[in-house]
């Protein structure tokens, strides 16, 4: 079984780095995609903890030390790819790990800022020989379903991603269940974090779920998302 954990670790993790790695190890995830990772001292500490825990294969985007980016770490070997031409301002917000049977594209899409990343991702993952899994913090969703209101940006681009051959893995397993991965200070819930899988991979998805306890334990302000494939 392949188990993938995607998680917004909140502002690089900071002093929570060791606790973050401990719960990831306990989850027995093979692959981890971390959004809001930062290329600074805290990020180096986090990567060292992951290395000691057996996540020998790691790749990170080229963002500066104070910018939010994406880290992919795995106990399975992969080749990585970054996308300098994906967006003028946010090219460090996506990265791909290419495994033999599939590719994992980790994302951290900016919140309510103009970007071209969803359009780029749709083109990049369409009609490829190797199927893609696209996971992370999208900072958007389906209005009135992934939130109570209609404040999401880029819902049209999200729809185009689905039409290109990607399926929402959470909805494959949980249908129309109402569940949120982040809450505002006012208590409003949003399902910002998603995992999309290529149509080819959909039949082997056995589970897709959030672990809200990690958020409640204040390891991050986001709940991690897990994908299991048989």
Give the pLDDT confidence of 85-136 residue by residue, as tens digits.
Answer: 999 999 999 999 999 999 999 999 999 999 999 999 999 999 889 999 999 9
Q: Supply the pLDDT for residue 163.
A: 96
Residue 30 DSSP label: S
Looking at the DSSP assignment, which residues form a beta bridge with residue 161? Answer: none
Domain hosting residue 35, numbered range: 2-229
Local confidence pLDDT in tens for the 230 residues of the chain: 999 999 999 999 999 999 999 999 999 999 999 999 999 999 999 999 999 999 999 999 989 898 999 999 999 999 999 999 999 999 999 999 999 999 999 999 999 999 999 999 999 999 889 999 999 999 999 999 999 999 999 999 999 999 999 999 999 999 999 999 999 999 999 999 999 999 999 999 999 999 999 999 999 999 999 999 99
222 in Cβ contact with 192 (< 8 Å): yes
Count: domains in the chain: 1
The pLDDT assigned to 145 comes to: 95
Q: Kindly give, in sequence order, each residue whose CB lies less than 8 Å from that of residue 21, ignoring residues fewer than 6 positions away.
A: 46, 49, 50, 53
Element (H, E) at 120: helix 117-125
Contact predicate 94/121, CB 8 Å: yes
Would you say 31 and 61 are in contact if contact means Cβ atoms under 8 Å apart? Answer: no
Could you tell me which of 39, 40, 38, 7 has the C-alpha nearest to residue 21?
Answer: 7
66-78 as b/e, with b when 16 or more CB fall inside 10 Å?
Answer: ebbbbbbbbeeeb
Establish how many alpha carbons lie within 13 A of residue 2's alpha carbon, considering only the half-sphere containing its beta carbon. Answer: 17
| CATH code for the domain in which residue 10 is found | 3.60.10.10
Q: Where would I find the beta strands (DSSP E) of the chain?
A: 2-8, 31-37, 57-60, 69-74, 79-82, 94-98, 103-108, 132-137, 166-168, 182-183, 189-190, 193-198, 205-210, 225-229
Share of the chain above pLDDT 70, in %: 100
Q: What's residue 127's pLDDT? A: 83
Distance in angstroms (rounded) separating the CA atoms of residues 84 and 82: 6
CA pair distance 223, 212, nearest whole angstrom: 5
């Amino acid at each position: 079984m392949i188990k993938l954990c995607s998680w917004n670790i909140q502002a690089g993790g900071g002093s929570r780095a060791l606790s973050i790695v401990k719960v990831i190890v306990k989850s027995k995830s093979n692959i981890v995609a971390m959004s809001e990772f930062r290329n600074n001292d805290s990020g180096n500490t986090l990567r060292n903890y992951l290395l000691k825990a057996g996540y020998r294969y790691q790749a990170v985007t080229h963002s500066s030390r104070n910018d939010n980016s994406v880290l992919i770490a795995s106990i399975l070997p992969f080749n990585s790819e970054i996308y300098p031409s994906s967006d003028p301002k946010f090219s460090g917000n996506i990265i791909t790990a290419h495994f033999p049977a599939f590719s994992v594209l980790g994302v951290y899409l900016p919140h309510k800022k103009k970007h071209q990343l969803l359009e780029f991702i749709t083109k990049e993952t369409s009609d490829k020989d190797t199927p893609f899994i696209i996971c992370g913090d999208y900072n958007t969703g389906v209005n009135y379903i992934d939130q109570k209101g209609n404040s999401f940006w880029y819902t049209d681009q999200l729809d185009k991603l689905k039409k290109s051959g990607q399926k929402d893995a959470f909805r494959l397993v949980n249908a129309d269940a109402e569940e949120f991965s982040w809450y505002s200070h006012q208590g409003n819930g949003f399902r910002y974090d998603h995992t999309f899988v290529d149509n080819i991979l959909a039949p082997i998805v056995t589970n897709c779920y959030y672990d809200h306890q990690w958020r409640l334990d204040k390891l991050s302000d986001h709940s991690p998302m897990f994908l299991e494939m048989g």
